[in-house]
């Protein structure tokens, strides 16, 4: 899971205290002239562009998990792509700032270092000039909690959809219980969530998707509504299964009536005819054959009692 964060990476002065922390991760004892250090915000408890956020306990666990983790570019997992390493992490609560859902803003901050080399000189310039400033973390979590009902948002117990409003609350996913932190990356992520849109129209309702598919236009499904689409498709598949069963039974009944009407006609021929008909046409064909079959053989139980007209069934003698 990659989580981009639009923040400003800030260069740091390398003090003796900073060097002591850095040298815990270096093989050779490094001096202030050997390293370049900078600070950054890795992640926080604010709802992001994916409709997800970390809870405060998750940030505390990630603090330990990200300590010593290497930084790369664009999440390309290669040793050649390693550029910096985190040597300090802390969870910071801002008493004067609230999240969009009303809680105190909490963030996971980190400090990282890289060697001052000729190859890194251009990168250091880009950090100092504000060109390299967006960070994305790559980690795994085991908890995906719905903010509305508290159930796993991926399970059948939850019917809520991220980004939709329920009782005045915008549904989002709470990420909890981190299990690993893989890396963090410098990425080119625009501040605008809609930047980099494709020329394909995004379907936000099932009817929109249906219309665009019928017209042959390319389309994508808005990720916030993917769960709703999945449930709709599941219901349609269930209805289709019931429809197929009904048609199968109707076809079998039609073949039986046809054999009575046409004096033992080939069943395979009638089955082929039934297969070519729409369901409403097949039902009409079945009703017609049923009426014809009744003329040939009365369609009633063999053990039905004959009506005796001599019997008085009016019960008049009991009426006063």
What average pLDDT is seen over the chain? 79
Distance (Å, whole) CA 111 – CA 67: 9
Q: What is the pLDDT of residue 89?
A: 94
For residue range 254-307, list pLDDT tens digits in order.
Answer: 888 888 777 766 677 888 888 888 888 888 888 888 887 777 666 555 555 555
Measured CA to CA in angstroms, residue 9 lies from 98, 126, 190 at distances of 22, 10, 15
Measured CA to CA in angstroms, residue 111 lies from 27, 66, 189, 257 at distances of 19, 11, 21, 82
Q: What is the pLDDT of residue 72?
A: 85
Residue pair 41/136 in contact by the 8 Å Cβ criterion: no
Q: What is the pLDDT of residue 227?
A: 67
* Cβ-based neighbour number of residue 98 at 10 Å: 12
Cβ partners under 8 Å of residue 97, min gap 6: 104, 105
* Cβ-based neighbour number of residue 300 at 10 Å: 8
Measured CA to CA in angstroms, residue 182 lies from 58, 75, 88, 137 at distances of 15, 10, 16, 8
Beta bridge partners of 175: 54, 144
Query: Which residue in 15, 47, 180, 178 sits closest to 111, CA to CA?
Result: 15
Q: What is the pLDDT of residue 198?
A: 30
Measured CA to CA in angstroms, residue 157 lies from 117, 149, 169, 177, 206 at distances of 54, 9, 19, 20, 22
- pTM higher than 0.85 for the full model? no
Q: Which stretches in the chain have pLDDT values below 50?
A: 190-201, 218
Q: What is the pLDDT of residue 120?
A: 87
For residue range 67-89, list pLDDT tens digits in order.
Answer: 999 988 877 777 777 889 999 99
């Amino acid at each position: 899971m990659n989580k981009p964060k639009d923040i400003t990476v800030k260069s740091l002065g390398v003090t003796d205290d900073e060097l002591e922390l850095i040298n815990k991760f270096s093989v050779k004892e490094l001096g202030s002239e050997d390293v370049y250090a900078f600070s950054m915000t890795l992640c926080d408890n604010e709802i992001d562009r994916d409709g997800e956020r970390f809870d405060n306990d998750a940030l505390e666990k990630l603090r330990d998990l990200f300590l010593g983790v290497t930084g790369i570019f664009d999440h390309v997992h290669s040793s050649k792509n390693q550029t910096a390493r985190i040597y300090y992490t802390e969870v910071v609560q801002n008493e004067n700032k609230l999240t969009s859902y009303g809680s105190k803003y909490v963030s996971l901050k980190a400090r990282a270092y890289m060697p001052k080399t000729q190859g890194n000189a251009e990168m250091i310039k880009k950090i100092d000039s504000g060109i390299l400033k967006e960070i994305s973390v790559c980690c795994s979590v085991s908890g995906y909690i719905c903010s509305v009902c508290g159930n796993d948002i991926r399970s059948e117990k939850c019917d809520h959809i991220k980004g939709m409003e329920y009782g005045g609350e915008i549904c989002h996913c709470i990420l909890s219980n981190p299990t690993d932190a893989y890396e963090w990356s410098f990425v080119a992520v625009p501040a605008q969530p809609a930047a980099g849109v494709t020329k394909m129209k995004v379907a936000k309702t099932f009817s929109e998707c249906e219309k665009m598919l019928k017209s042959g236009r390319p389309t994508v499904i808005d990720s916030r509504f993917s769960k709703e689409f999945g449930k709709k498709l599941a219901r349609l598949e269930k209805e289709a299964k019931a429809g197929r069963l009904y048609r199968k039974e109707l076809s079998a009944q039609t073949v039986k009536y046809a054999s009575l009407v046409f004096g033992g006609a080939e069943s395979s021929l009638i089955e082929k005819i039934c297969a070519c008909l729409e369901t409403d046409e097949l039902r009409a064909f079945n009703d017609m054959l049923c009426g014809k079959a009744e003329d040939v053989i009365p369609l009633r139980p063999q053990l039905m009692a004959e009506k005796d007209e001599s019997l008085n069934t009016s019960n008049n003698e009991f009426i006063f």
